[in-house]
Amino acid sequence: MPAALGAVVLLLVVLGLVTFAVYVHRKLLGWMQGRHGPTHTGPYGLLQTIADTVKLLQKEDVIPAQVDRPLFRLAPIIAFAPSFVVLAVIPFAPGLTFADVGVGLLFYLAVASVTTLGVIAGGWAANNKWSLIGALRSAAQMVSYEVPLALSALAVVLMAGSLNLNAIVEAQARSVWFVIPQALGFVIFLIAALAELNRTPFDLTEAESELVAGYLTEYSGVRFAFFMLGEYVYLFAMGALIATLYFGGWLPPHPALAFVPGIVWFLIKALFFAVLPFWLQATFPRARVDQLMGLAWKGLIPLAMVNLVLTAALKTWL
């Protein structure tokens, strides 16, 4: 029973975070573009996201005539559910992990890739050429970038000697934060993570100017909201994973600062990496799809391999 309760609490916390993230997203973009961002709904526009959600939920549920109905209905759920599931293995603070799985990192990577299925299903079911192209692009992109993502994460596993995320954090408590020995791995991981999240400059799947809205073209109302929700939850989950793998999770930057609870440190780090993509989005254009693939296969994967070998060597001889 407490496990179920925990899950509900987690769900609510994450929903709150997402609401906040959308607001921060719009405010930051606004400020970087000489605008104010939302100001109208509630104080400082804080209720804007809630208003938007309510609007989305009220919308007529449109299912175009020619779609594959069961699949069309199922896709948003397939895409969204894993984003919550992965949060279960993230260690938020000492002893605060919803499911302390032994192979936590593996679990995260494996479950996260299920989302790709949801995206493909959605694009295919919509029976629209734009959706299809968007979905195929996204599948290709996600599959390609999972390789460097996993390879660079593997180097961290070598350093820590465990796949358990709690153990990885503890290993960093004993030595230094892994971003220092794993600087190269971190950069690769960050780039691959952006591509996994479909954020600028890798936001090809919904490249508005080219593909209308990619796999989302035919979605509206609640189903659209689910896809969006999934995306923002992933943003937070990925921020949390980066914080855990490379920035010591709940650890304070210096032992002298240990009086601040671990969860605060964790949230600061995770939110920083969750917000970073917004800044990139405000600055960069989109890469081209073939260049993107080139970068993954010819750039990141070899580099990640080298990184892995170097880490192994480091581990063996030092």
Query: Would you tell me which residues interact with other proteins (CB under 8 A)?
Result: 28-36, 39, 129, 200-201, 203, 207-210, 212, 279-291
| Least distance (Å) between residue 31 CB and other proteins | 4
| Least distance (Å) between residue 207 CB and other proteins | 6
Residue number with CB closer to other proteins (18 or 289) = 289
**Residue type present at position 102:** G
Residue number with CB closer to other proteins (28 or 117) = 28
Whether residue 41 contacts residue 51, with contact meaning beta carbons closer than 8 Å, is answered with yes
CA dihedral 204, 241, 175, 166 (to 10 degrees): -160
| Least distance (Å) between residue 288 CB and other proteins | 5
Residue number with CB closer to other proteins (51 or 93) = 51
Please give the DSSP secondary-structure letter assigned to residue 89: T
Residue number with CB closer to other proteins (255 or 290) = 290
| Least distance (Å) between residue 282 CB and other proteins | 5
Whether residue 93 contacts residue 170, with contact meaning beta carbons closer than 8 Å, is answered with no
Tell the residue number behind the tokens 């100017």, with chain if given.
209
Residue number with CB closer to other proteins (175 or 283) = 283
**Residue type present at position 287:** A
Residue (of 179, 180, 145) closest to 304 by Cα position: 145
- CA quadruple 116, 121, 126, 132: dihedral sign: positive
Tell the residue number behind the tokens 């069309």, with chain if given.
72
| Least distance (Å) between residue 248 CB and other proteins | 25
